A and B are shown apart, each in its own frame.
Chain A
């Protein structure tokens, strides 16, 4: 009879994990919205590599979501794909119930989903011609989506007296180098939303924080930026390069980990020093 507990080995890496691996998040059930591709997919992989069980949410690209799931599983991690439109409250709460049924209540929520948006610096709408409907669409996507997801997981977090919510915003809210009015305004609103949430949920041991990346490359969203634009941005950035999806995932890991247990209502800029505050 050997009564001693053997720590489970970390997931074996199929490919190098730039953010390392551990079982630090073994007690986390993470829901990452919009995790089928882009930054969300990297976040999902990084959380899983550190032991979290990950619900990979997506809108329509089942194949891409499944790819992320397979990759995580191949590395010894635990994940499953869950389709839901974050702007649809009923769909989101049904998803949360399914995740809970499968893995237990969500105790780490990453609001990353981004409603289809064309980041085209040359074809963007200007202050004098952008219609109100564009704002509305972004509010509904960024703010409404986060609202729905938060509402769905809050009771479980409250019952557990433990929860982490991390919302993706953008450094454009501090430094609008390019005027994506609707997108940036909605993200600024999301920051305000997050701080209010942080104040109200603090008593229950739930933290709410934001991560504000600069331009992340490569992602589908940043595809349309021109080489010259990217070069110009690198030159004015103190760390003199663009953000990678891993840079963003690193900040998310911090907010998911015990290292940030006394941090709430914060906004961490991941943009190489472009915004300093």
Chain B
């Protein structure tokens, strides 16, 4: 951890003068400094930047920092330190071929942790220090290359009150012990927090339904979920999921917080719903929030220019906590920006995530080779 890291960390933890101009200036200065550092130390990224004629000293604004596409994490070694010295290597899931998995190298996880803590407290636990956390995921020691497992395990470490635990192991969901815990909570009257992926919840809800079980968890109980259903056998819309949470767990919609995160970055973006609810203001319409050490730009990939609020565009991350690789990352997700104040005067604004940018039929005959060959197999003679 060097001197720049230390300054970024203190910026994450205590941004100082909260005036929007001052905050923006500090963010900009740190972003450009971090960019210069990553440019110097990350050879593959330097090459990427040179092709775009972007160099430290040449850029005036964080906005101009070249954002690497996710593909770069698969095809290049985007590391500022020798990869073998990394404290953690988080890999994307999906591909069976390990060589085709994206990798994010972290020389240390202090900034990751700082980002995680500053955010989680604000958006998930604004009203308390700790809570009993029931995690529907494997712990990090079982999944050393999963950023999700690391994230959830750190939440458990930092915020888990006694009685917290993990309820998915190598053998799958530990339904019985989880049901015991839920029942204990229901009877004891002490609020609990559930953490997991949307898919794990679907699995749980299916199991509860099959067993004819449902719970009214004590007031203040809440739930954090993330992620989509890509490649899974079953898809559930987020509205359906919210209704099921209420029905089977007794967790009202505003207390079911969804967050958006990716292996390739080091910051998570939470729904503002829980915090708004706790503050007594409206939680709708729901959107994600952007903390002060990150920026989200919504761009038109055709022109690379930002689009207006409400307009669909591609999500680009600028994340000071993403120290080990590149602070600017172009996601493959589509979203739209939300102006501050949209959901009440306290609302800082943010963005709405629509999902992955793939699979829509284009104007003409655009199709991938695999689709074409697959289609051919099923056609009538």
Contacts and interface: CB of A to CB of B under 8 A. Distances in A.
A122 interface: no
Nearest to A7: B60
B53 A27 contact: yes
A8 B295 contact: no
B60 A6 contact: yes
Q: Which A-B residue pairs are the 5 nearest by beta carbons? A: A3-B306, A8-B60, A104-B50, A3-B297, A6-B61
Contact of A5 (B58, B61, B290, B349): B61
Taking residues whose C-beta sits less than 8 angstroms from the other chain, chain B's interface range is 20 to 34
A4 B57 contact: no
Given A104-B50, A104-B53, A1 B337 contact: yes
Interface string B114-141: 0000000000000000000000000000
Nearest to B297: A3
B349 A104 contact: no
A104 B48 CA distance: 11
B219 interface: no
Contacts of B51: 104
Interface of B: 24, 50-51, 53, 55, 57-61, 63-64, 290, 295-298, 305-306, 337, 349
Of A1, A26, A104, which is in contact with the most chain B CB atoms at under 10 Å from its CB?
A1
29 contacts: A1-B295, A1-B296, A1-B297, A1-B337, A2-B24, A3-B63, A3-B297, A3-B298, A3-B306, A3-B337, A4-B306, A5-B64, A5-B305, A6-B60, A6-B61, A7-B60, A8-B58, A8-B59, A8-B60, A9-B60, A26-B53, A29-B53, A78-B55, A78-B57, A78-B58, A103-B50, A103-B55, A104-B51, A104-B53
Contacts of A7: 60
B297 to A, nearest CB: 5
Interface in A85-108: 103-104
B349 A1 contact: yes
A53 B55 CA distance: 11
Contacts of B60: 6-9
Contacts of B55: 78, 103
A5 B62 CA distance: 9
A4 B58 CA distance: 17
Nearest to A51: B58
Contacts of A103: 50, 55
Given A7-B60, A78-B55, 11 more contacts: A1-B296, A3-B298, A4-B63, A4-B306, A5-B61, A5-B63, A8-B60, A9-B60, A27-B53, A104-B50, A104-B51
Contacts of B57: 78
Contacts of A27: 53
A271 B349 CA distance: 61
A2 B349 CA distance: 12
A3 B317 CA distance: 12
A40 to B, nearest CB: 23
A3 B53 CA distance: 20
Contacts of B63: 3-6
Contacts of A78: 55, 57-58
A17 B363 CA distance: 52
A78 B56 CA distance: 11
Contacts of A3: 63, 297-298, 306, 337
A34 B296 CA distance: 46
Given A104-B51, A104-B53, A1 B58 contact: no
A4 B295 CA distance: 12
